[in-house]
C-alpha cells in the first residue's frame, strides 16, 4: 500500500457509482413489469445459468438442507442469531408508545411493523448465511408479518444449504431462488410467484444495488450499499501485523473494496506496509486482496487531529480505532457506519458474532445513518384527536397561514365546525 500525507488522501478516495449498468437494469425492470415470471426465468438462465421450473424453495428442500449442514455450522448460526437478537431487543424496548397533549389535542406516536419486506441475500458464486441472519433477525423481531428472502441459485438451481438453514432458522416465511437485478425488481413490482414487498433490504453486487436505486420510486429500500470500506486508525502502540490482517479481512471481499490506514506515525506506516508485503504472498484470496489494495488502498500519515478529520470525511462503513485512548478518540468520530474500539474489536468479528449488524452504509452515507436494525422495519404511526375548543383556539392563526398560502378552503373546513 502506498504511504501518503493525510492532506492528499481525500483525493484518492473513490466514490462508487451506484448507477452503473443502469440501462441494462432498467431493461430488466421493464421486462419484469411486462412479462413477470417468464422474464424472471429468462434472466435467471441468462445471468446465473440456472434453468428453473419454479422459484419458491420447497419445505422438502429446506428439510434436506438441514441434513447437509454440520452441527458446528448450525451452532454458529444460532450463536450469531442469539447475539444479534439480544442487541436488537434492547433497542426495541426503547421504542415504546408515546402519548401527550398539546392545547387540548391528544397525539399518540407508536412504532408499528411493516407488513411485508424483502431480504436480499447475495449468493451464486459465494454463500453468505451471515447476511441472511443480519437482515431477517431484526425484521422478525420488529413483527413484520411476512419476510420474503431472495437469493441466487447455482447453475443446478440449488441454494447453498447453509444459507437455507440460516434463513429458515431466523424466521423467513418464503425463500426464492432468484438473484441480482431481477430479484430486486421482482420483489418491488410483484409477479405471479413473487409477492410485492413494502421494503427491500440487504447487501448485493453492482446490479442489485443499481436495481435498488431504480425501484426506490415504488418501494422503500434500506440503503445503496456498495463495496466494503474500512478505515483503521493506528499509532505507535498498534501491532503492525494485526493492522495488516484487519485490512486483509475486508479487502478479501472483492477487488473493489476500499481499505485505508490512517496513522500518526510514519514508522508505523512503514512497518504496516512491510507486513502487508510480507504476508500477502502466503494468504488465501491474495489476488483479490492485492488488486483491492493497489487500486483503492493507502496508508495516510498526519497528526491526530488531521487523522480524525480525514476519517470523518471519508465516512466509511467501518472505522476501527487501534490507538492509545481509543474511547476518547471514538467520541470524536461522527461519520461512520460502525465504530470499533481497541485492538480486540476487529471488524472481522463484528461481521459475524459481536451482536452488531454487518449491513452498513457505504459511499459516505455513514454521515447520515448507521447499520440496519429493527428500526428499519418499523414506521412511526401518529394518531391525533382534536376538539372544538382547540379549533377555536387556533382559528385566528390558521386563517393567517391559509390566507398567506392562498388556500382558503383549508380555513373554511375548520370555520364550519365553529
As annotated, the active-site residues are 317-318
Cell of 13: 478516495
d(CA 342, CA 355): 17
**What is the DSSP secondary structure assignment for residue 227, as one 8-state letter?**
S
Pairing of strands 220-221, 116-120: unpaired
Q: Which of 174, 149, 168 is closest to 62 using CA atoms? A: 168
d(CA 253, CA 292): 9
Q: Which residues of 239-260 are buried (b: 16+ CB within 10 A; e: fewer)?
A: ebebbbbbbbbbbbbbbbbbbb
Tell me if residue 146 falls in helix, strand or coil: strand
Is 169 within 8 Å of 137 (Cβ atoms)?
Answer: no
Tell me if residue 60 falls in helix, strand or coil: helix
Cell of 180: 441480482
* HSE value, Cβ hemisphere, 13 Å, CA-based, for 185: 26
Q: What is the DSSP string of 259-300?
A: EEEEES-HHHHHHHHHHHHHHTTTSTTHHHHHHHHHHH-EEE
Q: Which of 44, 182, 67, 62 is closest to 132 using CA atoms? A: 62
Tell me how far apart the terminal alpha carbons of the chain are, to the nearest angstrom.
74
Helical segments of 171-265, H only: 180-189, 206-215, 240-251
**For the chain, how are helix, strand and coil distributed in percent, rounded to 5?**
50, 15, 35
Amino acid at each position: 500500500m502506498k504511504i501518503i500525507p493525510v492532506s492528499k488522501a481525500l483525493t484518492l478516495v473513490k466514490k462508487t457509482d451506484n448507477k452503473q449498468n443502469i440501462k441494462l437494469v432498467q431493461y430488466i425492470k421493464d421486462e419484469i413489469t411486462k412479462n413477470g415470471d417468464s422474464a424472471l426465468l429468462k434472466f435467471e438462465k441468462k445471468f446465473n445459468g440456472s434453468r428453473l421450473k419454479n422459484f419458491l424453495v420447497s419445505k422438502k428442500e429446506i428439510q434436506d438442507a438441514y441434513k447437509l449442514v454440520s452441527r458446528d455450522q448450525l451452532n454458529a448460526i444460532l450463536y450469531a442469531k442469539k447475539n444479534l437478537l439480544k442487541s436488537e431487543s434492547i433497542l426495541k424496548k426503547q421504542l415504546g408508545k408515546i402519548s401527550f397533549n398539546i392545547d387540548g389535542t391528544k397525539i399518540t406516536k407508536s412504532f408499528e411493523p411493516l407488513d411485508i419486506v424483502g431480504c436480499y441475500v447475495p449468493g451464486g458464486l459465494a454463500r453468505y448465511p451471515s447476511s441472511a441472519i443480519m437482515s431477517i433477525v431484526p425484521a422478525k423481531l420488529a413483527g413484520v408479518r411476512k419476510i420474503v428472502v431472495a437469493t441466487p441459485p447455482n447453475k443446478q438451481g440449488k441454494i447453498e444449504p447453509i444459507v437455507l438453514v440460516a434463513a429458515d432458522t431466523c424466521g423467513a416465511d418464503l425463500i426464492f431462488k432468484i438473484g441480482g437485478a431481477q430479484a430486486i425488481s421482482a420483489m418491488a413490482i410483484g409477479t405471479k410467484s413473487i409477492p410485492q414487498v413494502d421494503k427491500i433490504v440487504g447487501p448485493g453486487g453492482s446490479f442489485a444495488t443499481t436495481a435498488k436505486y431504480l425501484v426506490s420510486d415504488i418501494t422503500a429500500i434500506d440503503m445503496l450499499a456498495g463495496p466494503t470500506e474500512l478505515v483503521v486508525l493506528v499509532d505507535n502502540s498498534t501491532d503492525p501485523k494485526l493492522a495488516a490482517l484487519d485490512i486483509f479481512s475486508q479487502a478479501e471481499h472483492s477487488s473493489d473494496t476500499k481499505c485505508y490506514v490512517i496513522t500518526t506515525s510514519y514508522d508505523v506506516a512503514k512497518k504496516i506496509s512491510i507486513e502487508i508485503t510480507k504476508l500477502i504472498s502466503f494468504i488465501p484470496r491474495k489476488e483479490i486482496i492485492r488488486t483491492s489494495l493497489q487500486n483503492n488502498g493507502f496508508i495516510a500519515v498526519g497528526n491526530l487531529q488531521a487523522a480524525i478529520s480525514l476519517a470523518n470525511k471519508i465516512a466509511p462503513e467501518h472505522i476501527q480505532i487501534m490507538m492509545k485512548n481509543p474511547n476518547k478518540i471514538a467520541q470524536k468520530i461522527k461519520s461512520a457506519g460502525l465504530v470499533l474500539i481497541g485492538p480486540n474489536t476487529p471488524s472481522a468479528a463484528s461481521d459475524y458474532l459481536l451482536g452488531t449488524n454487518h449491513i452498513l452504509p457505504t459511499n459516505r452515507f455513514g454521515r447520515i445513518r448507521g447499520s440496519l436494525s429493527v428500526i428499519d422495519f418499523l414506521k412511526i404511526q401518529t394518531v391525533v384527536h382534536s376538539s372544538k375548543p382547540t379549533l377555536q383556539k387556533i382559528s385566528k392563526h390558521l386563517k393567517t397561514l391559509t390566507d398567506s398560502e392562498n388556500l382558503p378552503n383549508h380555513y373554511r373546513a375548520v370555520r364550519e365546525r365553529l
